[in-house]
Copies of this chain bind each other. A is one copy, B any other.
Amino acid sequence: MSKIVTFGEVLMRLSTPGFSRFEQARQLDVTYAGGEANVASALAYWGHHTAHVTRFPDSPIGRSAAQYLHFHGVDISNIIYGGPRMAVYFLETGAALRASQIVYDRVNSSLATIDPSELNWDEILKDADWFHWAGITPALSQGAADACLAGIEAARRKGITVSGDIFYRANLWKYGKKPSDVLPALTAGTDIVIANRENISEIFGIEGKDFVESCVNLKAAFPQVSRVIDTKRTSISATHNLLRAYLWNGESVLETADIDINPIVDRVGGGDAFIAGLIHGLITFNDEQKALEFGVAASALKHTIEGDALISTIAEVEAIRQGETSGRIRR
């Protein structure tokens, strides 16, 4: 198995039990999660050595967060401690025609207040095979953006594969920079980009008449990019979705069939499980189509599991990839 290093904010996730609204909840379920850490957790269950890099407050809350990642099998030895506070997100799970709601409280978090020199990337990435980052990190603060860039550059120097989930969330980016100021440098060092046409247009101003043309034009601007991956979610209701994915590999676009998920138990983290499955597939299989399908199967399975993290065996994901979705009891 491989060593994969991920970098990004981990938040305390506080979710209302069952389908309770925020107003009703007198208990909140607490876990710790973040897009990149979710990727690490899923991969750890499949036997990879995954190490997550982040910054937590030096408090019982910060230590609880680290311990929670360790519970999922993630190497926490590169987590650093300091800064004012834990980022938090509040989740209310919807049902049927009622949408889920997420309220973020990440301002001034320990990661946002990082000084990039606190991370020694050459040490962190020793023996690593893969480095994964996402577009939320550079949106947090200049320090977080700089730390992310330093990680990508170190990976580049060591010849480690770099994947980036480029994902444009307009209501972040409050520190004075725009995505178009920051993301090009990060993307320039990235091999595998998770993005759709809209992202490519909005962030880089790169257009295309369809996904392929956008990818071709993206590669023209960023020659290191070898693959672009996109997922498509059809939302019938808050508890019933269909999922599929596309992979452009420089030559053609591969595509999967839809997987039908009904009912959804917990939709959050579905995209991260897709990336984990894709990384596992690209590392393990010599078959991009199978890797893409493994990603979608992993994502679909995540939707049936409480919490952000995909807890599964390779065999479970592989069975779904092969179409075993009838849910008969396993004894």
Contacts and interface: CB of A to CB of B under 8 A. Distances in A.
A120 interface: no
B23 A26 contact: no
Contact of A301 (B73, B98, B101, B107): B98
Given A30-B28, A264-B96, A105 B90 contact: no
A26 B28 contact: no
Interface of A: 14, 17-31, 59-61, 63-64, 67-68, 70-73, 84-86, 88, 90, 92, 94-105, 107-108, 169, 171, 235-240, 259-265, 267-268, 300-301, 303-307, 311, 316, 320, 325-331
Given A18-B306, A23-B311, A70-B71, A92 B60 contact: yes
B19 A265 contact: yes
Contacts of A99: 326-330
Given A64-B22, A102-B331, A304 B92 contact: no
A304 B18 CA distance: 11
A27, A107, A235 pick with most chain B CB within 10 angstroms: A27
A260 B327 CA distance: 16
A25, A86, A108, A263 pick with most chain B CB within 10 angstroms: A263
A99 to B, nearest CB: 5
A306 B26 CA distance: 12
What are the nearest 7 A-B pairs in CB distance? A238-B327, A97-B325, A71-B71, A98-B304, A235-B326, A22-B60, A95-B304
20 contacts: A14-B14, A22-B63, A24-B306, A24-B311, A27-B28, A28-B30, A61-B90, A70-B73, A86-B105, A96-B264, A96-B304, A96-B325, A97-B325, A97-B327, A99-B326, A100-B327, A100-B329, A101-B329, A101-B330, A102-B330
Given A100-B330, A327-B238, A330-B101, A26 B22 contact: no
Given A99-B328, A235-B326, 4 more contacts: A14-B14, A97-B260, A98-B304, A107-B108
A30 B97 CA distance: 26
A63 B313 CA distance: 11
Given A102-B329, A311-B21, A263 B95 contact: yes
Nearest to A301: B98
